[in-house]
């Protein structure tokens, strides 16, 4: 329960567990589907310790955590009792998102649960290819054979795994999906294509199919579904609808076995007769189309995909290329499309290294180290959201480096021969089994080095890092004075930053504040649109929408003042800030002016909480008055 408080705070700020339709996680993100996204406190989440940032994409509310997201996810499920919710597919909010967002949400929901083990088995297969290419083992050796089997196992029986995740995503029974998929990869199917051909369908076309067996007189087009993707996803979608229909008409007393019996009995023949062949042909056409477009100019394709890949990642759009890559691996044995993007992470860490070496900001330098290490292994969200994107220019330079690397891979005809790992672990995936270390492999190595170097040099020279107004000495002085204050200052007085009526925090109509999840303190119903500093200190946070401000007092207390409820949705309208983040302010100094009438007309309550977020370090003595004026005592703080 190391992340218990973080999990509680996240749930409180996504609108409470009752607002969660489902939640899954990928490599770095918690992916929520919320019933009402307007109930989420996005700005609070973005500034929460333990949260990198928040993204809204593909119908999902994505809370970026970092490398330890599996542990946070498990804790969120536990403290929120969300196990049952996350196990069931849901479409409760599907009507609120577009077709493109639905597609991205579907793909991520199907592939995310197996992404880790898919990468792991790909790495094992890549290891087998590497040791064979280096001449360490023979292709006939038991060592190579077992490594290859370990790597091939999941990919060969991929439909069974996707049958589980797809049925779960579509709201059906996962084991029914697995049963349908198991039929598609049954070993007996190989022998059914060797018998006598009774007829040939679509003769003379690209869909020509010899018929070896029939089902109640209906010809069955036999195909290999090992490693396939599209057939089982479509079959699972239809099966989930069939299963739901059967549950409505079959009596409860026999539902347990009769619903799966009827679903499997209907879906297996239907998949072999129609869904399987049609989706396989569609997959082949999709693969041929993407390769045709790619081969118009592999260099340009690599430049575009590599250059924009990080932008795709930010918005979750990269999931759109995953099924294309998986389909290409199935139908052609390799994929050149995704190959152009897998080295982009090195351009990102090239920019991070430049920042780390050049910046004088100690906090930024310390953030750069773990972001750099994560990027080596392909996890770039900490680098993107924590460092390069906020600085803007370094992110652009990393995109340029990624584009150059992608162009090199395209120019050298680089291909992924397996779904491998990320970062340095993806290199073996460029080795064609049995072909050794050819130009396509060395092209990927060159792309990795050049992309890294381009991003590093451009960021170091033109990334604007030298324009950062780092105040190392000033920060050291402020830190030292805080340490002294924290040991000597007692009864630090926090005065009222507003004119108005004092109300208990528990009466605030926002669970994040009323529950105390964001801190302890009071709230004020303002009677005038002026907010002044309640204490001397440093403006530690000023939200872009200017509806909230954070102040760190000289005694080390962190104050958060949030003007109104849901006012983040006003996007800064009706608010005027008179200070900037990093400014040192005195008690009574004007911080923000806000138009009360306009905010009320927009339907937003003006209740303003004033809380101490690190309240565990202090004893709070709250005022008992009901009406306060600017500068009147509000509460006092004693260091514990």
492 compared with 442, residue with greater pLDDT: 442
Mark which of 72, 97, 122 sits at the end of a domain. 97
Residues 6+ apart with CB under 8 A from 483: 556
* Residue 19 belongs to some domain of the structure: yes
Confidence of residue 609 (pLDDT cuts 50, 70, 90): very high
Same domain, 281 and 301: no
Q: Which uninterrupted H or E stretch holds 411?
A: helix 393-411
Q: What is the CATH number of the domain that holds 553?
A: 2.70.70.10
User: Mean pLDDT lowest for which of 72-86, 121-135, 176-190?
Assistant: 72-86
0.95 exceeded by pTM: no
Same domain, 513 and 371: no
pLDDT (tens digit per residue) in 312-327: 877 666 767 777 887 8
pLDDT (tens digit per residue) in 344-383: 999 999 999 999 998 887 767 877 888 888 888 887 877 8
Catalytic residue from among 25, 318, 547, 562: 562
The answer to whether 26 is a known catalytic residue is yes
Domain extent, residue 13, equals 4-97
Q: How confident is the model at residue 472, as a pLDDT? A: 40
491 compared with 331, residue with greater pLDDT: 331
Longest dimension (CA), the chain: 95
Pairing of strands 53-57, 60-64: antiparallel
Q: How confident is the model at residue 527, as a pLDDT? A: 93
* Residue 148 belongs to some domain of the structure: no
Q: If you average pLDDT over every residue of the chain, what do you get?
A: 83
User: Mean pLDDT lowest for which of 7-21, 102-116, 529-543, 593-607?
Assistant: 102-116
pLDDT (tens digit per residue) in 223-267: 888 888 889 999 999 999 999 999 999 988 888 899 999 999 999
Confidence of residue 163 (pLDDT cuts 50, 70, 90): very high
| SS3 state at 560 | strand
CB 464 within 8 A of CB 355: no
Please choose, from the candidates 609, 638, 637, 635, the residue with its C-alpha nearest in 3D space to the C-alpha of residue 622: 635
Residues β-bridged to residue 610: 522, 561
Q: How large is the average pLDDT for residues 144-164?
A: 90
Half-sphere exposure of residue 60: CA atoms within 13 angstroms, side-chain side: 30
Same domain, 314 and 446: yes
* Residue 163 belongs to some domain of the structure: yes
* Residue 392 belongs to some domain of the structure: yes
Q: Which range, 198-212, 395-409, 510-524, 548-562, has the best average confidence (pLDDT)? A: 395-409
Residues 6+ apart with CB under 8 A from 129: 417, 418, 428, 431, 432, 433
Q: How confident is the model at residue 116, as a pLDDT? A: 77
Same domain, 85 and 188: no
* Residue 619 belongs to some domain of the structure: yes
* Residue 412 belongs to some domain of the structure: yes
Mark which of 264, 286, 308 sits at the end of a domain. 286
Residues 6+ apart with CB under 8 A from 151: 121, 122, 123, 124, 125, 126, 127, 128, 418
* Radius of gyration for the chain, computed over Cα atoms and rounded to the nearest angstrom: 29
Is a pLDDT exceeding 80 seen at residue 87? no
Mark which of 286, 311, 336 sits at the end of a domain. 286
Confidence of residue 43 (pLDDT cuts 50, 70, 90): confident
pLDDT (tens digit per residue) in 399-412: 999 999 999 999 99
Q: How confident is the model at residue 84, as a pLDDT? A: 40
Same domain, 398 and 540: no
Q: How confident is the model at residue 476, as a pLDDT? A: 39
Is a pLDDT exceeding 50 seen at residue 2? yes
Positive or negative: CA dihedral 73, 75, 80, 81: positive
Rounded-to-integer distance, Cα 415 and Cα 333, Å = 10
End-to-end CA distance of the chain: give it in Å, rounded: 25
Percent of the chain exceeding pLDDT 90 equals 30
pLDDT (tens digit per residue) in 171-196: 899 999 999 999 999 988 877 766 67
Same domain, 613 and 496: yes
* Residue 217 belongs to some domain of the structure: yes
Rounded-to-integer distance, Cα 535 and Cα 482, Å = 14
Catalytic residue from among 25, 26, 345, 399: 26
pLDDT (tens digit per residue) in 264-309: 999 999 999 999 899 888 877 877 888 888 888 999 999 999 998 8
Is a pLDDT exceeding 60 seen at residue 29? yes
Residues 6+ apart with CB under 8 A from 608: 498, 500, 523, 524, 525, 526, 531, 561, 562, 563, 564
Q: How confident is the model at residue 98, as a pLDDT? A: 60
Same domain, 321 and 461: yes
pLDDT (tens digit per residue) in 58-71: 677 888 887 678 88
Same domain, 503 and 598: yes
Same domain, 200 and 253: yes
Same domain, 392 and 263: no
Residues 6+ apart with CB under 8 A from 355: 364, 368, 387, 388, 391, 394, 459, 463, 465
* Residue 514 belongs to some domain of the structure: yes
Number of domains in the chain: 4
DSSP string of 120-169, one letter each residue: HHHHHHHHHHHHHHTTSS-TTSHHHHHHHHHHHHHHHTHHHHHHHHHHHH
The answer to whether 25 is a known catalytic residue is no
Q: What is the CATH number of the domain that holds 20?
A: 3.30.1360.60
Q: How confident is the model at residue 488, as a pLDDT? A: 40
Same domain, 307 and 277: no
Same domain, 495 and 557: yes
Please choose, from the candidates 442, 383, 389, 386, the residue with its C-alpha nearest in 3D space to the C-alpha of residue 414: 442
CB 30 within 8 A of CB 23: yes
């Amino acid at each position: 329960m190391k992340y218990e408080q973080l999990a509680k705070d996240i749930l409180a700020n996504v609108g409470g567990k009752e607002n969660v339709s489902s939640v899954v996680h990928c490599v770095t993100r918690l992916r929520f589907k919320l019933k009402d996204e307007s109930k989420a406190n996005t700005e609070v989440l973005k500034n929460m310790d333990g949260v990198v940032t928040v993204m809204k994409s593909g119908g999902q509310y994505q809370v970026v955590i970092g490398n330890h997201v599996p542990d946070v996810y498990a804790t969120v499920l536990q403290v929120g009792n969300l196990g049952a919710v996350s196990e069931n597919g849901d479409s409760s909010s599907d009507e609120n998102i577009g077709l493109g967002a639905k597609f991205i949400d579907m793909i991520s929901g199907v592939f995310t649960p197996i992404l880790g083990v898919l990468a792991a088995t790909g790495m094992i297969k890549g290891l087998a290819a590497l040791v064979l290419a280096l001449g360490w083992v023979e292709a006939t050796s038991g060592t190579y054979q077992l490594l290859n089997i370990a790597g091939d196992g999941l990919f060969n029986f991929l439909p069974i795994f996707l049958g589980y995740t797809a049925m779960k995503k579509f709201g059906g029974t996962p084991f029914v999906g697995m049963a349908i998929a198991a039929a598609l990869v049954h070993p007996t199917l190989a022998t059914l294509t060797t018998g006598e051909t009774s007829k040939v369908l679509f003769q003379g076309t690209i869909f020509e199919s010899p018929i070896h067996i029939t089902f109640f007189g209906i010809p069955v087009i036999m195909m290999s579904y090992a490693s396939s993707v599209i057939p089982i996803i479509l079959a699972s979608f239809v099966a989930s609808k069939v299963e739901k229909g059967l549950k409505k008409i079959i009596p409860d007393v026999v539902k347990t076995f009769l619903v799966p019996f009827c679903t499997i009995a209907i879906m297996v023949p239907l998949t072999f007769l129609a869904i399987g062949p049609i989706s396989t042909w569609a997959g082949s056409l999709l693969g041929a189309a993407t390769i045709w477009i790619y081969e118009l100019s592999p260099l340009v394709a690599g430049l575009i995909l590599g250059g924009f890949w990080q932008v795709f990642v930010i918005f979750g759009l990269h999931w759109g290329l995953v099924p294309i890559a998986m389909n290409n691996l199935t139908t052609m044995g390799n994929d050149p499309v995704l190959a152009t993007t897998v080295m982009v992470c090195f351009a990102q860490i090239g920019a991070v290294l430049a920042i780390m070496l050049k910046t004088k900001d100690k906090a930024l330098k310390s953030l750069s180290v773990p972001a750099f290490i994560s990027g080596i292994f392909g996890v770039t969200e900490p680098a993107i959201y924590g460092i390069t994107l906020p600085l803007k220019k370094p992110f652009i330079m990393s995109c340029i480096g990624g584009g150059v690397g992608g162009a090199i891979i395209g120019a050298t005809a680089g291909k992924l021969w397996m779904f491998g790992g990320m970062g340095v672990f993806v290199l073996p995936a460029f080795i064609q089994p049995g072909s050794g270390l050819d130009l396509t492999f060395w092209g990927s190595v060159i792309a990795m080095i050049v992309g890294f170097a381009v991003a590093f040099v451009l960021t170091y020279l033109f990334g604007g890092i030298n324009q950062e107004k780092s105040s190392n000495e000033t920060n050291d002085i402020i830190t030292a004075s805080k340490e002294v204050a924290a040991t000597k200052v007692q009864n630090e007085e926090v005065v009222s930053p507003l004119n108005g009526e004092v109300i208990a925090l528990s009466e605030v109509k926002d669970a994040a504040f009323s529950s105390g999840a964001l801190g302890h303190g009071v709230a004020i119903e303002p009677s005038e649109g002026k907010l002044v500093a309640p204490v001397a200190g440093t403006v530690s946070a000023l939200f872009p929408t200017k509806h909230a401000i954070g102040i760190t007092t000289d005694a080390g207390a962190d104050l958060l003042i949030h003007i109104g409820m849901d006012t983040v949705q006003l996007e800064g309208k009706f608010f005027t800030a008179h200070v900037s983040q990093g400014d040192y302010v005195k008690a009574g100094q004007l911080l923000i002016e806000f138009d009360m009438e306009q905010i009320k007309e927009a339907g937003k309550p003006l209740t303003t909480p004033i809380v101490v977020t690190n309240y565990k370090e202090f004893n709070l003595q709250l005022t008992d008055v009901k009406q306060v004026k600017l500068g009147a005592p509000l509460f006092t703080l004693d260091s514990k």
